[in-house]
Amino acid sequence: MRKTIIAASLAATAFAVPNLAAAQAAAAAPSDHTLTGNVGLFSQYRFRGIMQTYGNPALQGGVDYSHSSGFYAGNWNSNVNEGAGFPGGNLEMDFYGGWKKTWGDWGIDIGAIYYYYPGTHAGSSRMFSPANNKTGKVADGNVHNFEGYIGGSWKFLTLKYSRAFSDYFQAPNTDGSGYIELNANYDLGDGWGIQGHVGHLNFKNMSKADYTDWKLGVTKDIGGWVFGAAYVDTNAHGSCGKGEFYCFLNSSGSGGKNAGKATAVVSVTKTF
């Protein structure tokens, strides 16, 4: 009887060990799905070098999903200001998706992005008003923009081209506008990093709106919180005395600021 009990115990153990090993292997196997969130506070929001919050602080955040196959999708949001060309609105919502892959030091990224500004009234947008030396009348409805993009990377360098599939933020007859940019993100070690950027906008049928922007910044990671400071500048035509393209009026339609004027932007961000 005792021998029978021992034999039964050994048999149970023999079955249990493989099951335990299988469970541990399953727990250790990485998931094909990754979901992350991000949040950031910025002294102001600059999009392609142009102010979006009229020089005021911006709270930003979003969520990203990625699959091991390379496909991804996400949403990102920020407050904006009416004076930056978003009458009746104070929120930007971006929705994007695509596919990216890396091979050693090389990488590729192909996708599309939709910029949406709920509550805005494009037909009354001062961003493209004749008073600011701009031509045409934007379409009625919410301000929006739809772009496709393709990018290639090598180590810490990324070259990316974006092309508008719709009128560029609803400026008339500007579908096909393109933006090309070169970005550098170099890890210095010990949580320090430097960032560099130069980009150029080709605003189709709006030659006075073409410009180049550039940025140089430094970051420091402290316990997962990334603190940053950057110098941002452009050669965009924004002299309000001359009524140039990138002179943005405030929400009341008075005053005016050079939307592409050089500035410093400080920030703190976290990904979780």
The predicted pLDDT at position 91 comes to 97
Mean pLDDT, rounded, of the chain: 87
Token pair listed for 61: 């955040």
Q: Assess contact for 75 and 97: CB atoms under 8 A.
A: no
Distance in angstroms (rounded) separating the CA atoms of residues 198 and 148 = 19
pLDDT per residue as tens digits for the range 85-112: 888 899 999 999 999 999 999 999 999 9
The predicted pLDDT at position 207 comes to 82
Distance in angstroms (rounded) separating the CA atoms of residues 189 and 60 = 26
Lowest-confidence segment of 17-31, 69-83, 121-135, 175-189 by average pLDDT: 121-135
pTM as predicted: 0.86
Spell out the alpha helix ranges (H) of the chain: 2-28
Residue 142 pLDDT class (50, 70, 90 cuts): confident
Residue 263 pLDDT class (50, 70, 90 cuts): very high
| Whether the predicted pLDDT of 9 surpasses 60 | no
Give the residue among 250, 249, 168, 157 at the shortest CA–CA distance from 211: 168
Average pLDDT over residues 113-131: 69
pLDDT per residue as tens digits for the range 33-72: 999 999 999 999 999 999 999 999 999 999 999 999 999 9
Distance in angstroms (rounded) separating the CA atoms of residues 132 and 268 = 34
pLDDT per residue as tens digits for the range 176-223: 999 999 999 999 999 999 999 999 999 999 989 999 999 999 999 999
Q: How long is the chain? A: 272
Q: Assess contact for 61 and 38: CB atoms under 8 A.
A: yes
Residue 26 pLDDT class (50, 70, 90 cuts): low
Distance in angstroms (rounded) separating the CA atoms of residues 264 and 215 = 10
Torsion of CA 128, 249, 53, 261, to 10 degrees: 90
Residue 2 pLDDT class (50, 70, 90 cuts): very low
The predicted pLDDT at position 42 comes to 98
**Angle, CA of 65, 66 and 70, to the nearest 5°:** 155
Residues whose CB is less than 8 angstroms from the CB of residue 108 and which lie 6 or more positions away in sequence, other chains included: 100, 101, 150, 151, 152, 153
